[in-house]
Chain A
Amino acid sequence: MSVAFATVLDGLTRVPGVRSALLVSVDDGLVIAESSMTDVDTAAVAALAASLAARLARAVTTAGHAAPRSLHLEATGGGLMAAPAGEGLLLVAVTDPDANVGLLRLALRNAAGRVG
């Protein structure tokens, strides 16, 4: 992992409630870089996040809106937050159910700007 990516991803995992942060290739859903606080199946997260992001992008553009800037999947036992980070890349954070979503949203946007 390059130092720049490592710094960005480590910064995200310092947000309360973030278990793992990844940089994912949108086209193939593969992990490019990762930083995990706990045992997370990052390969599965990457594939699922990329697939969900692609589906959502299609629905949103069909509705006539601009491409998504961020998405947040909230589930009973945790969540995923993702934001595009430059050409063909997606920054993804895996969260606990009680994560500070507002803070993470800002951190993710800031991090995406640094990667892109």
Chain B
Amino acid sequence: MIDDIRALTARLAAEPGSLAFLPLGEALRRRGQLDAALTVALGGLQRYPMLGDSHDLVARIRSDRGEGDLAFDAWTEALRHDPRHVGARRGLAFLCFRAGDFEWAERHLQAAADVMPDDPGLVAALLRVQERRRSLPAAPPAPGALVPEAKGSLLVDAQGRRLAGSLVAAGGEDVSDAVAAELAGVSREAARAARLLGFGSWRSLVVECADANLHLLPPTEGTLLMAVAEPTTPAGRLAVVAERGAVAARRWLERPE
């Protein structure tokens, strides 16, 4: 392996614009040289920001470094550039599984298995997660089901991780995790604006688009609930619906384990 690393390092030095950073970063990661691996991976990412593999490599290294939040962001970003990226699906499934979100672990693994149906490792992981889900008592009602009047709803934490709910774009693509990642910034920005302008705590954000109305509010400190409705839904009604969802989300978040 050391010879491989030497060869790949020499190749990357000779051709800095090549994709040699991918096998080099991975080789360093496997050897446990995580700082060096991350330096190589981030350098490659700068050159290839649109490449799913670049983000996947960064995510694997972040995960090994115990930086779960950053790994989650990087795998989400990988999927944004390549929705069929199996490595990113596996990684997100792993993080979801570790967090006890077996439903989403299964969804990610199923999506990966749809791309690579003959991968025995994927099939085995999928079966394991499914068994685990079956062995659990029924889950408490999630906010997705608690905003039934909304077209879609999403509950996210301060780090942009999806806690519950889902959003599907018009083309049928599941955009839940990508939107959740963006919403962390929105929540921070809303809180910052309200604070700096001397308005106190922010209560809601209403957004009108040509094809949807959105209502965002913080059910608890550090979480954000977004409810999406048709543009024909009156703003006041959507506010009531979202507020009910926030009450349910609060109850769900503060339930005893």
Interface set of A (CB-CB < 8 Å, partner B): 41, 44-45, 48-49, 51-52, 55-56, 58-60, 62-80, 94, 105
B169 touches A71 (CB 8 A): no
Residues of B within 8 A of A (CB): 80, 167, 169-171, 173, 175, 178-179, 182-183, 185-186, 189-190, 192-194, 196-212, 214, 228, 235
Query: Is B189 in contact with A51, judged by CB distance below 8 angstroms?
Result: yes
Closest to B178 in A: A62
Q: Are B210 and A44 in contact (CB under 8 A)?
A: no
User: Complex Cα distance A70/B205, Å?
Assistant: 10
Which interface residue of B183, B186, B207, B235 has the most chain A CB atoms within 10 A?
B207
CB distance from B30 to the nearest CB of A (A): 33
Given contacts A52-B193, A63-B179, contact A73 B186 (CB under 8 A): no
Report the separation of the CA atoms of residues A55 and B183 in the bound assembly, to the nearest whole angstrom.
8
**Residues of chain A contacted by B182 (CB below 8 angstroms):** 55, 58-59, 62
**Cα distance A56–B179 when bound, in Å?**
10
- Asked if B203 and A74 make an inter-chain contact with CB atoms under 8 angstroms apart, the answer reads yes
A44-B197 in contact given A64-B175, A73-B190 (Cβ < 8 Å): yes
Nearest chain A CB to B181 CB, angstrom units: 8
Per DSSP, chain B at the interface is mixed
The residue in chain B whose Cβ has the minimal distance to the Cβ of A97 is B199
Q: Can you offer 10 A-B residue contacts whose CB atoms are under 8 A?
A: A55-B182, A58-B182, A60-B212, A66-B210, A66-B211, A73-B193, A74-B203, A76-B194, A77-B194, A78-B197
Given contacts A48-B192, A51-B189, A72-B206, whether A63 and B201 have CB atoms under 8 Å apart is: no
Residues of B within 8 A of A49 (CB): 193
Chain A proximity of B243: nearest CB distance (Å):
12
Q: Are A48 and B178 in contact (CB under 8 A)?
A: no
Least Cβ–Cβ distance between A80 and chain B, in angstroms: 7
Closest 3 CB pairs of A and B: A64-B169, A75-B199, A76-B200
* A60 pairs with B201, CB closer than 8 A: no
- Nearest opposing residue in chain B for A80, CB measure: B193
A86 to B199, CA, bound (A): 28
**A75/B209 contact (C-beta < 8 A), A63-B179, A64-B171 known:** no
Do B179 and A77 touch (CB < 8 A)?
A: no
Residue among B182, B210, B235 with most chain A CB within 10 A: B182
Give the residues in chain B near A76, CB-CB below 8 Å.
194, 199-201, 203
* B50 smallest CB distance to A (angstroms): 16
Known: A59-B186, A74-B202, A94-B197. A68 touches B228 (CB 8 A): no
B197 touches A45 (CB 8 A): yes
Q: Once bound together, how far apart are the Cα atoms of A69 and B235, in whole Å?
A: 13
Complex-state Cα separation, A75 to B170, whole angstroms: 32
Q: Decide: B201 and A75 in contact? CB cutoff 8 A.
A: yes
Chain B residues whose C-beta falls within 8 Å of the C-beta of A51 in the assembled complex: 189, 193
Contact between chains at B185 and A66 (CB < 8 Å): no
Name the contact of A71 in the complex, choosing from B171, B200, B202, B207 (C-beta under 8 A).
Answer: B207
* Whole-angstrom distance between the Cβ of B150 and the nearest chain A Cβ: 13
A70 touches B186 (CB 8 A): no
Contacts of A63 in B (CB 8 A): 167, 169, 175, 179, 212, 214, 228
